[in-house]
Amino acid sequence: MTRIEILNRDNMDAAQGEVYDEAKANGGPVGGPYYAYIRIPELMRQSQNLRACLHGGPLSGRERQIINLLVARHWSARYPWFAQARGSLAVGLDREIIDAINVNKVPQLDDPREQAVYSVAQELLTRQKLSDASYAAAEASLGLTDLIAAVANVGQFGMTCCTANAFEIDPPDDDPIPLANL
């Protein structure tokens, strides 16, 4: 059960309502960790802006989803996993890739850029940095701009997962690909 009361639109103050309405009008998320962020309207606005910036950045939807799945799995964040598994299917990631990440197995990734973002995210999450060899390989595969976007995605989505976990924001009961209990 979620630790915080979920504010519905009618119970929000003016600043919260304005940010909520902006997010909804722009197609941004208003559930999950945003249930917490709405209590600090400027935090919600800026988190939506960073999310939109990264979404419109140089990484493909598939590349972003691979990163987000790894981050959600790393944090064992159930709501973010739910949202990202659904988003991953929507951008065409094979169920086998999602299932492998769900049980901490290395997925079969045929695209070199997808392999690179997987390796970057995995190493950042497990070692908290990139080795010189990993950095060089990622920069060669992705280029500097896309490597920066990959690293930023790991950090941004880590905040989402920490928030969901701290406030125990659960996925809906009809979660199609539940996070595996490891």
- pTM listed for this prediction: 0.94
Number of domains in the chain: 2
Residue 171 lies in a domain: no
Sequence-distant (6+) residues with CB within 8 A of 121 are 66, 67, 70, 71, 150, 153, 154
Residue 40 domain boundaries: 9-55
Residues 67 and 33 in one domain: no
| pLDDT, tens only, 50-105 | 999 999 999 999 999 999 999 999 999 999 999 999 999 999 999 999 999 999 99
Q: So what's the pLDDT on residue 176?
A: 83
